[in-house]
Amino acid sequence: MRFVFVSTQVYFANQMRIGIEAQRIFRQKKHGMDIVILEILRQLQQINTPHEYFAYAQPYKDVDTLHSTKNVRVKLSGPALYPIWEQYILPREIKKDKIDLLHCTSNTAPISTNVPLVVTIHDIIYLEKQTGNNGVFYQKLGGIYRRWNVPQIAKKASMIVTVSDYERNRIIEKLNLPEEKVRTVYNACGNHFGDEYSAEELQDFRKRMNLPERFVLFLGNTDPKKNLPNVIRTLGLLYERKQLDFTLVITDFKIEHLLPLLKEQNNEHLLKYIMLIGYVVNQELPKLYKLAQLFLYPSLRESFGIPILEAMQCGTPLITSNTSAMPEIAGNGTALVDPTQPEEIAEKIVRLLNDTDMRTKVIAYGLQRVKLFSWKQTAEQIVNIYNEILNI
């Protein structure tokens, strides 16, 4: 904080320079953490706050994602591997800009900063032995970096922000932190998930993506927590019972990862019931949800689960897990399952596809539940944390 004298004290005390790490917001294939900080920055550009914000990012290709405004400056530096960027380039930039507080938004932070530090720790899955060493190479590398960085940063930070009470309790316990140092600030979903589309617009999207008439949607990636092996086992059960009357549409997953999994389970015959459509940009996801008969989200472990809210906002019936943070976000009016039990998942799929009364109740509940979450509320709570740390 800058020291001031009587006549200008109010002016400077209320106008601080806040640095916000947003290093991946310009990459084309955005995922959870990238979406979160992008939405928060968009809100900061709109809400009434006295601070000046500096969003530090690497120069990826998606340059139209966010532009500088009067109160939010977008600053590009790099490119570099993200640990190098975070530990060396980011501290240099915030020193140059005379930042009063730094908010790192993607679990990790530079060790060497001397300004007050807020860190958003979305989850600590990488500190849990059962999942810490799984995934593809870049996920393993990221896990190694986070396991080195997070315990140190958690002690140093002025405040830890996380995205659910479930994760807050896990962080406090695992990192041995005082309760008052870890704050829950919920995520939300973009307003465009509430957009209405004409039947013609949806059919045009269906044709462009070559989507089948009847499909269940699964947002895939190679992270083991997404639980694709048990989803495939569920399809196998439905096939055996002659109840597999839909296509499973999977986003952001490659055939070279799917085929070994099918072979391992002796389920190669299920390939004709699976459709891989690649990465779908966030702006077009609402159309995909709205065309789906059902959204399947039986993750093994989530700290929040933004897709839960996305499906609800689109009026798509949802099946999600009864573990970790998912019940906290989805609420008790959603179809919850044990993600380790394919029998239970299969039963819920059949019921939700065929029981009109159940579908209607789940959809109506979701449309009300999602109103509890908003990015404006998220951004305002984050600003309150900044003010608290800076004694404003």
What pLDDT, on a 0 to 100 scale, did the predictor assign at position 138?
A: 57
Considering the entire predicted model, what is its pTM? 0.92
Give the residue-averaged pLDDT of 23-49.
92
Structural fold of domain 6-188+374-389: Rossmann fold (3.40.50)
At residue 44's C-alpha, the angle toward residues 119 and 151, to 5°, is 5
Sign of torsion, CA 22 378 359 302? positive
The pLDDT assigned to 7 comes to: 32
Q: Which helix (H) or strand (E) holds 104?
A: strand 101-104
Contacts of 327 (CB under 8 A, 6+ apart): 321, 336
Mean pLDDT rounded to a whole number for the chain: 92
pLDDT tens for residues 157-178? 999 999 999 999 999 999 999 9
Name the nearest CA neighbour of 299 among 174, 147, 131, 181: 131
For CATH 3.40.50.2000, the residue range(s) in the chain are 6-188+374-389, 191-372
Q: How confident is the model at residue 131 (pLDDT cuts 50, 70, 90)?
A: very low
Higher pLDDT, 273 or 220: 273
What CA–CA distance (Å, rounded) separates 70 from 320? 41
E strand or H helix at 208, and its extent?
Answer: helix 199-209
Q: Evaluate whether 320 touches 68 at the Cβ level (below 8 Å).
A: no
- What is 191-372's CATH number? 3.40.50.2000
The structure tokens listed for 154 are: 């958690």
Residue 329 has pLDDT above 70, yes or no: yes
Tens digit of each residue's pLDDT (9 = 90 or more) over 196-229: 999 999 999 999 999 999 999 999 888 889 999 9
Per-residue pLDDT tens over the stretch 247-265: 999 999 999 999 999 999 9
Amino acid at 369: R
Chain segment 359-380, per-residue pLDDT in tens:
999 999 999 999 999 999 999 9
